[in-house]
Amino acid sequence: MGCPHDCVFCSQKKITGITQNVTGETARKIIDDYLQAVRPSGNVEISFFGGSFTGIPKSERRELLSVGYEYVNRGLADGIRLSTRPDYINVEILDELMSYGVTAIELGVQSMDDEVLKQSGRGHTAADVVHAVGLIKKYPFELGLQMMTGLPGDTPEKSVETALKIANLRPDAVRVYPTLVIRGTELERMMQCGTYIPWTVEDTVPVLVKIKRIFDNEKIKIIRMGLQTTEEISPGASVTGGPFHPAIGELTESEIFYEKLLEISDGLENCTLAVACRREEVSKVIGHNAVNRKRLENTRNIRLKTQINETAACGELIVIEVKNDCS
Ligand code: SF4
Q: Which of 86, 9, 93 is nearest to 52 (CA)?
A: 86
User: Measured from the CA of 10, which atom of ligand 1 is nearest?
Assistant: 8
Q: Ligand 1: distance of its center to the CA of 259 in Å?
A: 36
Contact (CB, 8 A) for 277 and 319: no
Q: Which of 98, 123, 99, 101 is nearest to 110 (CA)?
A: 123
Q: Which CATH class is domain 12-246?
A: alpha beta
Q: How much is the pLDDT for 319?
A: 95
Q: How much is the pLDDT for 2?
A: 58
Nearest residue (by CA) to ligand 1, atom 3, is 51
Nearest residue (by CA) to ligand 1, atom 1, is 5
Q: Ligand 1: distance of its center to the CA of 255 in Å?
A: 31
Q: How much is the pLDDT for 18?
A: 54
Map out the domains of the chain as residue ranges.
Answer: 12-246, 267-324
Q: What separation, in Å, do the N-terminal and C-terminal C-alpha atoms of the chain show?
A: 68
Q: How much is the pLDDT for 6?
A: 84
Exposed (0-12), middle (13-18) or buried (19+): which is 263, by Cβ within 10 Å? Answer: exposed
User: Measured from the CA of 9, which atom of ligand 1 is nearest?
Assistant: 7
User: Measured from the CA of 121, which atom of ligand 1 is nearest?
Assistant: 6
14 lines ligand 1 (CB under 6 A): no
Q: How much is the pLDDT for 12?
A: 65
How far apart are the C-alpha atoms of 174 and 106, rounded to whole Å? Answer: 8
Per-residue pLDDT of the chain (327 residues; tens, 9 = 90+): 657 888 999 986 555 555 567 899 999 999 999 998 877 678 899 999 877 899 999 999 999 999 999 999 999 999 999 999 999 999 999 999 999 999 999 999 999 999 999 999 999 999 999 999 999 999 999 999 999 999 999 999 999 999 999 999 999 999 999 999 999 999 999 999 999 999 999 999 999 999 999 999 999 999 999 988 777 777 778 999 999 999 999 999 999 999 999 999 999 999 999 999 999 999 999 999 999 999 999 999 999 999 999 999 999 999 999 998 754
**Sign of the four-CA dihedral 176, 179, 182, 186:** positive
How far apart are the C-alpha atoms of 315 and 327, rounded to whole Å? Answer: 31
DSSP secondary structure letter of residue 21 = -
How far apart are the C-alpha atoms of 26 and 23, rounded to whole Å? Answer: 5
Q: Which of 21, 226, 11, 3 is nearest to 123 (CA)?
A: 3
How far apart are the C-alpha atoms of 286 and 284, rounded to whole Å? Answer: 5
Contact (CB, 8 A) for 162 and 109: yes
Beta bridge partners of 307: 276
Beta bridge partners of 145: 107, 174
151 lines ligand 1 (CB under 6 A): no
How far apart are the C-alpha atoms of 95 and 176, rounded to whole Å? Answer: 28
5 lines ligand 1 (CB under 6 A): yes
In single-letter form, the type of residue at position 100 comes to: Y
pTM equals 0.92
86 lines ligand 1 (CB under 6 A): no
- C-alpha angle with apex 136: 130 to 137, nearest 5 degrees? 90
Residue 79 CB partners (closer than 8 Å, separation 6+) = 43, 45, 46, 72, 101, 102, 103, 104
